[in-house]
Amino acid sequence: MPKATVAAIITRQKDGRQQVLLARRNTEPFKNFLSLPGGHIDPYEPAKDAIIREVLEELGLDFAPEFQFYNDEIIPERGIHAVVGVFVGQAVGKIDLSSGEISEVIWTDLNETPNLPLAFLHAQILTQYALAIQ
């Protein structure tokens, strides 16, 4: 049975370019890979509440989701089957990695993300987002 998860595309504009925040995972699966912040939805928790909670827990940031779409994440060789609610928006606050789930964050231009070692199917999610905003 698929798991219900959420992921955040946290954006900013820098020098006229759209950038996204990527987090280096400090846990398995995909330890040391870059990924979108996010995680599992708790029982009876709305997806929007889950992504706000996950961004606060992992990064210490207040996230304001503005847009969402869904993506299937099926990776049989890793035993992963999830339905991912993807939320897009900006975040405010000072990044705090004390939870230990993330070892570092980077900001990168949206058009550079397909060339990075991303966890799960996050490259596919970012490609979908890039196509949607063109």
Question: Looking at residue 70, which CATH number applies to its domain?
Answer: 3.90.79.10
Query: What does the alpha-carbon distance between residue 52 and residue 37 come to, in Å, rounded to a whole number?
Result: 10
**Residue-by-residue pLDDT tens, the chain, 134 positions:** 889 999 999 999 999 999 999 999 999 999 999 999 999 999 999 999 999 999 999 999 999 998 889 989 899 998 889 999 999 999 999 999 999 999 999 999 998 988 899 999 999 999 999 999 98
Bridge partners of 81, per DSSP, are: 74
Task: Identify the burial level of 56 via C-beta atoms within 10 angstroms of its C-beta, where 0-12 means exposed, 13-18 middle and 19 or more buried.
Answer: middle
User: Tens digit of pLDDT for each residue in 94-107?
Assistant: 999 999 999 999 99
CA nearest to 84, candidates 42, 127, 47, 114:
47
Q: Residue 60: which domain range?
A: 3-132
**Strand 3-14 relative to strand 38-40, pairing:** antiparallel
| Residue among 98, 110, 69, 61 at smallest CA distance from 86 | 69
Would you say 9 and 129 are in contact if contact means Cβ atoms under 8 Å apart?
yes
Q: Total domain count for the chain?
A: 1
pTM of this prediction? 0.93
How far apart (Å, rounded) are the C-alpha atoms in residues 63 and 51? 8
